[in-house]
Amino acid sequence: MIEIKDVEFKYGDRLVIDNITVTASSGRILGLIGPNGAGKSTLLSLIYRLLTPQHGNVVVDGSDIRALSRNEVAQRMAVVAQHNEATMPLTVFDCVALGRLGKSTIFNYCNDADNELVRQAINYVGLAGYERRLSSELSGGEWQRALIARAIVQQSTHLLLDEPTNHLDIHHQYAVLQLMRELSSTTVVVLHDLNLAAQFCDDLALLQNGKIVASGTPEEVLTAERISEVYQIHAEVVTQGPYRHLVYSPYNK
């Protein structure tokens, strides 16, 4: 469980996160949604201690994150950040294998069991046959999938993802989010696509101007009236079988 309690954060004098309280329950997927600049990525960065709040705290499975070492945070949380480009050429296999560093010692890093986990994760994200390709040879979507595979092999109990479907085609968007569900980790994910959020998240927190304006199940949060107000567009909810879809159009149409 991840508990965010009365968290505030400023960049200089600009209040970016304004007294947010929200919980990611164990084994459930919490989606952070909202317009650009709402504070979604900043809130995610506060959860895994890339940033430190000026007020409030983040509690992970009963432990204040400020009391945990960097290594302990890394062992509990696997993170796929929004901007995470390779600083040097790595093969896909080596990139994914880096996720095992926190689980192994220098003397048994990437043993046979580790290598098998790496191969499985590469297959899961649809990169079988890419093991020896360099990061510089991958498309943006392929590199994103490699980073998700690296997070998987960490085998952490908490998974944090910042726009994991960015750069992915429709097939791989669904594949990655379905995999996210199958992992059964306590997950916090930033998503822009509200229909994907509705389909794959158990709970949602809708942010606007650094505040949570609605939280709950997708059915509770994603009402036509609320989405129209927050995003300044005309929104309608259409039901198709078991799924609810949001359909948008500009106000001037």
DSSP 132: T
Question: Across-strand partners of 219?
Answer: none
Q: Determine contact, residues 38/191, Cβ cutoff 8 Å.
A: no
Nearest to 67 by CA among 79, 55, 58: 58
CA–CA distance, 251 with 233 (Å, rounded to integer): 5
CA 207-5-196 angle, to 5 degrees, is: 35
Domains for the chain: give ranges and CATH numbers.
2-249 (3.40.50.300)
pTM of this structure: 0.88
Left, alpha or beta for 236 (phi > 0: left; psi -120 to 50: alpha)? beta
Question: How confident is the model over 126-185, as pLDDT tens digits?
Answer: 899 999 999 888 887 888 888 889 988 888 889 999 998 887 888 888 888 888 888 778
Left, alpha or beta for 47 (phi > 0: left; psi -120 to 50: alpha)? alpha
Question: How confident is the model over 233-247, as pLDDT tens digits?
Answer: 999 988 877 777 889
Nearest to 34 by CA among 211, 165, 201: 211
DSSP H helices in the chain: 40-47, 70-76, 92-97, 112-124, 140-153, 170-183, 194-200, 218-221, 224-231
Question: How confident is the model over 37-67, as pLDDT tens digits?
Answer: 999 999 999 999 999 999 999 999 999 999 9
Element (DSSP H or E) covering residue 224: helix 224-231
Tell me the three state secondary structure of residue 46.
helix
